[in-house]
Amino acid sequence: MLSQDPLIKVRMIKQINFKGGTIIDGFPSAGLANAIASQCFNYSLKTELVAVLDSQAFPAMSVIHDTVPNFPARIYINDSLKLAIFTSELNLDQSNHYDIAKIILQWAVENECELIISAAGISSSETEDDIKQNEPDVYAVASTELARSKLVSLGIPQLPNGSITGIPALLLNESRWINLDVVVLLVKVLRDTPDFRAAAALSETIIKLVPGATCDINSLLKEAELVEKNLKKIRLLQQTNPDMDLYR
């Protein structure tokens, strides 16, 4: 998988030393939960934009944050924590999943990263009131024995059986071949419940996996409704205006 030239290119803004670092995959795949969670870490930590992802397969779109235009897929880094966050507002077609997973893994290998954290949703017909108090909000699956032992030591429950699709599935499968630690968090996405509830549960688990990482979860719960609306607006505009160049 890693030997072929990717259709998606990483355009580095500055050179980094990221040996031993951790990557958070913030491409939407658990509804919008992991995209919202990745933005929470970006807002809560001191991060720096170090690269953008570019591809002719992406829609012609610029995402405006605080008056500044941005590529719709970006890499931020907190150097002190050795934490990289891949974040995006893109509503990716399934045909792009392979190339996104490939570029994340390739970037991880080239920069000698130790861990990739991704997320997937478990759809549920339950409502928030239906959840049993002793039932975990988040399960996990790991690609290596070392990563699985880390989950055990942190008290993060593992999914014994099931299936995962999309970018998280590709990251898990391919990382086994190259013996790279990948952890996919599985969060229950509830009927008639906003995605930021699931994002808060994801953020709490990521904090366990990345010592020193912080996410202002209280602010997330207060402000993520607006973030979620903006992400959904971008999705809608992308679907109805595929040639749009500017998001306002």
User: pLDDT tens digits for 80-123?
Assistant: 999 999 998 787 888 889 999 999 999 999 999 999 999 988 76
> What's the whole-model pTM score?
0.84
Q: What local confidence, expressed as pLDDT, does residue 40 receive?
A: 86
Per-residue CA distances from 170 to 33, 97, 143, 222, 236 (Å): 19, 8, 11, 33, 26
Winning range, highest mean pLDDT, from 69-73, 148-152, 164-168? 148-152
Whether residue 30 is predicted with pLDDT greater than 90 in this model: the reply is no
Per-residue CA distances from 238 to 12, 105, 247 (Å): 26, 27, 9
Indicate the fold that domain 19-125+136-240 takes in CATH.
Rossmann fold (3.40.50)
CB atoms under 10 Å from CB of 198, counted, come to 26
Q: What local confidence, expressed as pLDDT, does residue 51 receive?
A: 96
Q: What proportion of the chain, given as a percentage, has pLDDT over 70?
A: 77
Q: What local confidence, expressed as pLDDT, does residue 239 receive?
A: 64
Q: What local confidence, expressed as pLDDT, does residue 248 receive?
A: 31
Q: Cα–Cα distance between 102 and 113 in angstroms, integer?
A: 15
pLDDT digits (tens, 9 = 90+) for 58-91: 888 888 888 999 998 999 999 999 999 999 878 7
Whether residue 225 is predicted with pLDDT greater than 80 in this model: the reply is no
Q: Cα–Cα distance between 185 and 122 in angstroms, integer?
A: 10
Whether residue 194 is predicted with pLDDT greater than 90 in this model: the reply is no
Mean of the pLDDT values across residues 39-46?
A: 88
